[in-house]
Structure 1
Amino acid sequence: MPNATDDTEPDSTTVPWTPPRPAEIPALHTSLRAWLGHPFFFKVTIDALDAGQGTIIPAAANPLEAAVILHQEETRRLGSAELYAVDEEMTAQALAAGARLPDWSVQPADLPAEQGFLVFDSPIGHSEATDGLIAPIVACSWGPSPHCSPPAGAVWLTFWSAPVLDRLVQAGIEAGLDPVEAQREVKRGSPPLVWDDEALVCWSAGEPDIPTTPRYIPSEEVSGVIAKERTLPWIQTVLAAWLLIQEPAIVEITEQRASRPERRRAERAGRPLPPVRVVSIHRRVSTATRPAEPSGRTVNVRFRVRGFWRDQPYGKGRALRKRTWIPEHWRGPEDAPVLIRPRVTVVEAPPEPAD
């Protein structure tokens, strides 16, 4: 689980990411579970822990024992995970909604599933990979963690990045393999995703509790959000995605399965492939014009309103509140003149490669 120093925008040295088709995600999920038990993957985790990397470290006698705990727990989480594929437009909506979350409050009902594995069509962040490359964060898995379970409850998140394959392919070519053979060998000998970092979000979390040291050993007194600062935007995006998935007025969810030959092979091996839920923005949302709400004033122009969160009343006597995302929309009469407001976008510079 290599860790980076910053969350950045991509640059020319970004590791390429071609998202899998939704029908390919069940096989990717199965492959990832198998890789968690592979000696190579174990060695990567052990070396990372021994080098002081990782955010939440089990209380163990040595890096090997800690790696066993981490891999066993992640294998169990993935084993019972519901699968989600988030398309590019929905990913953009989750990024925008996550950046505008008013706080870090999270309840079990906010999760679309107790355990899940979510693959984004486009990156939700970036971190420094090997040789100074920038690896995109493209997936998140979540679920309980027996070794990190405060009395009030919490959910563990694991963030996955795209693997660094191009340089491995080039190394194979330089070793004498033809390009097609080199690509085949790298694909067969590399995990589909790389464990990048992890975080713990406690129920009813308020302001994020960031460890003051690079590593955190779980205790019963844990509360808030346990994470490195660089992962906080990723967490916000995932929290927003969880909430949006449960908004039928905003998203539409379809179900896809792996190809029939893949399903048959998996069933013969005793490992049936689960379906994947494909999450997309509802078509009518992207061009919606929300009706004006009574405000005591007349709107004579047409203008765009940025998306925002609203605490929607529900339940008996409308006494309960549910956080609901109001997507970006147009306000004002359709035949009114359009008011253009300038928008400033601040882009962070990429980090300097490590020496």
Structure 2
Amino acid sequence: MTATRWEPPDPRQLPEWRAELLDYLSSDVATTTMRGALSAGRCTIVPTVPGVDASAESIGAILLTRSEHDRLSKAELYYATPDMTALALAAAATPPTERMTLRRLPSENGLIVFGEPIGGYTEDVAAVFAGTVAGKSTAPTLITTPIVAVSWSTWSPQAVTLDQGSVRWTFRGQGRAGALPPDFRGVWLTFWSPRGMFSGLAPETEIATMPDGTVITAGTIDATTAPHGPVLGWDNEMLLREGAAFGAAVPDTTALWSHVLYTAWQLMAHDGKNQWAEVEDVPRARAGAKRDRRQGITGSGAVRIVRVHPGRRPSPKAAAEDAEASTGRREPQWSCRWPVRPYRRNTCLNPRAHQDGGCDHEDRIVPGHIKGPEGAPLRTGSTVHLWDRQPAAEA
């Protein structure tokens, strides 16, 4: 059978998805799951409270789930269409050249769901089940987990306080570890994947054998877990420090996914002749808005649908050909949508002060695929792609 692919939602579903996430994050199940992630070393940012009469994993799980709940309740909601996702991935092929600046954020708190995965990673089932009662894997099966959403908020260590004592924050990952300084200021990113870790496998795939000989299949696991809880599941998190430089990132890591998110923010911020995106606001229904208020949600509840600007948009045929080739479990590998990738230009915002170092620089995304006068069709060999809102076919 064909592996299950990521199917993006109707953008109008995002407020309900957020409500489900908030309910889940308030549950004992979420705290227990986060405690397990901390124990397994899957968390990048780890809070501890010295002197508290509880295990480090227990108090850390409570702090992380409560903090995530608080961030999501304040978040503005965004949906990046498949073409917008592909554009962000194309431009993010090279790291941002400007230093991380908070003015790039489209809102102080946000949750964006992408129409295509912005990345993913592959794990061996044997490693997933190591140390559990079903530790015997019956096949060398690999699981691919797509990353399809990111939430964010501005953050500093002082953002979380407890009456029981001061919270200490440490980070670990990619060969580094250490304490976060009290004056840290930046953005907290949380990466989300579709729940149901085995949904990318055929249901009859044998995963493991229990001590009594019972065979566990992918379908059995997902039938048990998928119907309960939200569509999205917490995967990992990271911090972007204000003023820090972006460097080359290791594939299939939070650092690489953060490049895609930051590039999407850059594309959304460009205006005028440099405009890359258009945004449609879909308001929250009145009944849903009342539910949001009862749940303590302070974000607007409206969904901002982010599309590629009509003047930059590929034809439906080109997008459809790339979509057909996509696995839906990893970032798309396009060949038609963006024949020549957009590229970055590091632009000085105050050339008069450039010589003495008193200027400021920012990235501008340049449409490397457009040749000739603005608005002219793109020529690649004998094929002409018409770049308007929704061309019926290629010329």
Q: CA offset at residue 165 of structure 1? A: 7.3
> Could you tell me which of 269, 275, 280 is aligned with 1:246?
269
Distance (Å, rounded) in 1 between the aligned partners of 2:345 and 2:56: 47
1:72 corresponds to 2:85: no
Choose which of 365, 386, 390 in structure 2 pairs with 1:325.
Answer: 365
Aligned to 1:217: none
Does the aligned pair in 2 maintain the 1:23–1:259 contact within 8 Å? Answer: no
Give the C-alpha shift of residue 325 in structure 1: 0.8
Distance in structure 2 (CA, Å) of the matches to 1:322 and 1:117: 24
1:19 is aligned with what amino acid?
Answer: P
Distance 1:120 1:208 in 2: 23
Q: Does 1:108 align with 2:110?
A: no
Aligned to 1:95: 89
Q: Which amino acid aligns with 1:159?
A: F
Q: Distance in 2 between matches of 1:43 and 1:253?
A: 38
- Corresponding residue number in structure 2 for 1:142: 152
Number of residue equivalences: 288
* 1:96-133 Cα shifts (integer Å, max 9, x gaps): 11122344620111211222111101100112469442
| Contact 2:42-2:236 at 8 Å conserved across structures | no
Q: Which amino acid aligns with 1:55?
A: T
- Whether the aligned pair in 2 keeps the contact of 1:46 and 1:67 (CA below 8 Å) is yes
Structure 1 position 231, deviation (Å): 2.1
Q: CA offsets, 1:122-174, max 9 Å, x none?
A: 10011246944212100001111535565251211110001117769969xxx
> Are residue 50 (structure 1) and residue 39 (structure 2) matched?
yes
Gaps of at least 5 residues in structure 1 are 1-10, 172-178, 211-226, 289-303, 341-355
**1:157 equivalenced with 2:189 (yes/no):** yes
Q: Indicate the residue corresponding to 1:349 in structure 2.
A: none
CA separation in 2, counterparts of 1:322 and 1:104?
Answer: 5
CA contact (8 A) 1:160 1:194 kept: yes
Instruction: Name 1:62's counterpart in structure 2.
Output: 56
CA distance in 1 between partners of 2:150 and 2:61 (Å)? 19
Is the 8 Å Cα contact of residues 87 and 120 (structure 1) preserved in structure 2? Answer: yes
Check conservation: 2:156, 2:182, Cα contact below 8 A: no
Tell me how far apart the structure 1 counterparts of residues 277 and 144 of structure 2 sit (CA, whole Å).
Answer: 31
Aligned to 1:281: 308
Q: Which residue of 1 aligns with 2:344?
A: 309
Give the AA of the match of 1:252.
Answer: E
Tell me the SS of whatever aligns to 2:257.
helix
Contact 2:22 / 2:72 at 8 angstroms: preserved in 1? Answer: yes
Secondary structure of 2:42's aligned partner:
coil
What is the alpha-carbon distance in structure 2 between the residues aligned to residue 231 and residue 284 of structure 1? 32
Cα deviation, 1:190-245, whole Å, max 9, x if unaligned, reads: 222111111111112125599xxxxxxxxxxxxxxxx9972222111011011111
| Structure-1 residue corresponding to 2:111 | 117
2:120 paired residue among 98, 122, 126: 126
**Residue of structure 2 in register with 1:200 after alignment:** 239
Superposition deviation, residue 56 in structure 1: 1.7
> Contact between 1:73 and 1:145, CA under 8 Å: does it hold in 2?
no
Query: Which residue of the partner structure matches residue 28 of structure 1?
Result: 17
CA distance, structure 1, for counterparts of residue 252 and residue 146 of structure 2 = 17
> Is the CA contact (8 Å cut-off) linking 1:112 and 1:243 kept in structure 2?
no
Task: Calculate the TM-score normalised by the size of structure 2.
Answer: 0.63
Q: Give the partner amino acid of 2:366.
A: I
Separation in structure 1 between the aligned mates of residue 109 and residue 380 of structure 2, nearest angstrom: 45
* CA-atom RMSD in angstroms: 3.7
Question: For 2:116, what is the secondary structure of its paired residue?
Answer: coil
Say if 1:24 and 1:258, in contact at 8 Å, map to a contact too. Answer: no
Q: Compared with structure 1, are the counterparts of its residues 82 and 149 closer, same or farther at alpha carbon in structure 2 (3 Å cutoff)? A: farther
Q: Quote the Cα distance in structure 2 between the aligned partners of 1:189 and 1:40.
A: 11
1:224-235 to structure 2, matched below 5 A, reads 230-235=253-258
2: CA distance, partners of 1:338 / 1:102: 27
Measure the CA separation in 2 of the matches of 1:101 and 1:326: 14
Identity %: 30
Question: How far does the alpha carbon of each residue in 1:305-326 deviate from its partner, in whole angstroms, 9 at most, with x for none?
Answer: 5311123344696854332111
Normalising by structure 1, report the TM-score. Answer: 0.69
Q: Indicate yes or no: 2:281 matched with 1:255.
A: yes
Q: Give the conservation status (yes or no) of the 8 Å contact 1:26–1:257.
A: no
- Determine the C-alpha separation between the residues in 2 that align with 1:324 and 1:19: 29
Q: 1:165 to 1:62 in 2, by over 3 A?
A: closer
Question: Counterparts of 1:90 and 1:59 in 2: how far apart (Å)?
Answer: 39
How far does residue 338 in structure 1 lie from its aligned partner after superposition?
A: 5.8
Shift of 1:258: 3.7
How far apart, CA to CA, are the structure 2 residues paired with 1:245 and 1:335? Answer: 23
Q: Could you tell me how far apart the structure 2 residues matched to 1:38 and 1:77 are?
A: 16
Q: Distance in 1 between matches of 2:203 and 2:191?
A: 27
Greater per-residue strand proportion: 2
SS of equivalent to 1:57: strand
1:228–1:209 Cα change, 3 Å: same
1:346 counterpart residue number:
none
Query: Do the aligned residues in 2 keep the contact of 1:165 with 1:186 (CA within 8 Å)?
Result: no
